[in-house]
Amino acid sequence: MLSLRKRLRSQTLGPASKMVGRPLQFFALFFLAILAPARSSAIAPAPASNGLCLACHGNPAAATKLANGEPLSLFVDPKAFARSVHGGKLACADCHVDMARVPHGVRQFKSRRAMSLAYYELCKRCHFAQYARLLDGVHYALLAKGDDRAPTCVDCHGSHGIGRPDQPRTRISATCARCHAAVVAAYRRSVHGEALASGNPDVPVCTDCHRAHDNANPLSAAWHLSIDRLCARCHANRALMAKYGISTQVLTTYLNDFHGMTASLYRSEKVRPAMFTATCTDCHGAHDIGRVGAPGSPAIKANLRKTCARCHRGASANFPSAWIGHYEPSLSHAPLVYLVKLFYLIFIPFVIGGLVIQILLHLWRAVVNR
């Protein structure tokens, strides 16, 4: 790197610098001038100055040392940059606005991480919407508390080789896997993850449930109580579920039972539940959702008592039958409940009807007897 640094200096000092430096400054000013009105519109024309930066930064051996002794490669792969979403659209200086002139000033960073934390701010000039959303998310809340492990734009997207972040769709979980390896491993074995790997786009990926930029805390009460709606986006969609022969009654039956009723109540009352009521993921799992008939499934009969016992301590072997499952009661499923319902369906109108007739008869008699 020393040689590169010498070159940088020599351009300021040596006679060659006059030749190289002046047209450069001219170009830089020229581009800044034509860029200025385009800045706010996000799409900038592509000036041809990249070759200039790459004269030094296109050298694979270009490297330096940061203040903490960490080595830093200064190499920017021109091919990877050209293939990236920004290739042919942006100039180096569209992001590195403070380095439009050569020779450029040097910012001394403490560490690699300090550099990333400073440089991700470059993205907000053109992607303000994503930047603003990030500020609302759990990751940024961690960053703001000084937790360096939390991701910035660069950790998820890269810097010079940025690709379409959702293409292919499996790429999304790979992005999260860097830091959430255990969650991603469980997801890949789940019914959703397996379908995704086989090329099925109908199943949810990380960001369908958590969103990419403004992801909320999934362990909060409010989030927990809204999980049914998350699943219902697909599982109450008749056209989608018909493809897989999966019942769409799962939502209505859930909402009609004690757990679902309690969840709706909590939601509408905006009270903080003293104890979480069960939602979809308490019985099915969140990342490890399996087919309900599979041997390991928490929703299969053999495991159901254990599933209920997580919250209903001391649940007996018969306890699970306190819930009739996702079935609308019928003669074949829960006939007793069905018959009781049917009975009430006839009995209640009968009683109320009788009551009304009796009152009318009383009134009639009172009128006639007068």
For the segment 269-328, give every residue that binds ligand HEC (CB under 6 A).
275-284, 286-287, 289, 291-292, 299, 304, 307-308, 310-312, 319-320, 322-323, 325-327
Contact yes or no for 24/52 (Cβ under 8 A): yes
Of residues 159-188, which lie at the interface with ligand HEC (CB under 6 A)? 159-160, 162, 164-166, 172-173, 175-176, 178-180, 183-184, 187
One residue of 46, 114, 115, 197 binding ligand HEC per CB under 6 A: 115
Q: Does the footprint of ligand HEC cover residue 57 (CB under 6 A)?
A: yes
Q: Under 8 Å CB-to-CB from 170, ≥6 apart: which residues?
A: 196, 197, 205
Per-residue binding string, ligand HEC, 330-369, x by CB under 6 A, is: ----------------------------------------
What would the x/- binding string for ligand HEC be over residues 124 to 143, using CB under 6 A?
-xxx--xx--x---xx--x-
Residue given tokens 């002046």 in the structure block: 22
Using the minimum distance from each CB to ligand HEC, give the nearer residue, 211 or 362: 211
Cβ atoms within 10 A of the Cβ of 103, count?
A: 18
Nearer residue to ligand HEC within complex by CB, 32 or 234: 234
Among residues 4, 51, 62, 3, the alpha carbon closest in space to that of 23 is found at 51
Among 12, 68, 217, 330, binds ligand HEC (CB under 6 A): 217
Is-contact 308 258, C-beta < 8 A?
A: no
Considering only 202, 330, 344, 362, the residue that binds ligand HEC (CB under 6 A) is 202
Number of neighbouring beta carbons within 10 Å of residue 263 = 24
Q: How far apart (Å, rounded) are the C-alpha atoms in residues 240 and 292?
A: 18
**Residue 267 lies near ligand HEC (rule: CB under 6 A):** no
Tell me, by CB under 6 A, how many residues bind ligand HEC: 139
Q: Which is nearer to ligand HEC, 32 or 292 (CB)?
A: 292
Q: Tell me how far apart the alpha carbons of residues 141 and 143 are, in angstroms, rounded to a whole number.
A: 5
Residue 79, interface with ligand HEC (CB under 6 A)? no
Q: Which residue has the tokens 């969609």?
A: 237
Q: What's the Cα-to-Cα distance from 15 to each of 20, 21, 22, rounded to whole Å?
A: 9, 10, 11
One character per residue 93-112, x = contact with ligand HEC (rule: CB under 6 A): xxxx--xx-x-x-xx-----
Using CB under 6 A, pick the residue from 258, 344, 347, 364 that binds ligand HEC.
258
The reply to whether 63 sits near ligand HEC by the rule CB under 6 A is no
Q: What is the distance between the terminal CA atoms of the chain, rounded to a whole angstrom?
A: 116
- Give the whole-angstrom CA distance, residue 120 versus residue 176: 18
Long-range interactions of 172-178: CB distance < 8 A, separation 24+: 172/205, 172/206, 172/207, 172/212, 173/205, 173/206, 176/206
Report the nearest approach of ligand HEC to the CB of residue 165 (Å). 4
| Residue number with CB closer to ligand HEC (163 or 349) | 163
292 vs 337, which CB is nearer to ligand HEC?
Answer: 292
User: Is 197 an interacting residue with respect to ligand HEC (CB under 6 A)?
Assistant: no
Nearby residues of 283 by Cβ (< 8 Å), 6 or more positions away: 298, 299, 307
Among 43, 348, 355, 361, binds ligand HEC (CB under 6 A): 43
119 binding ligand HEC? (CB under 6 A): yes
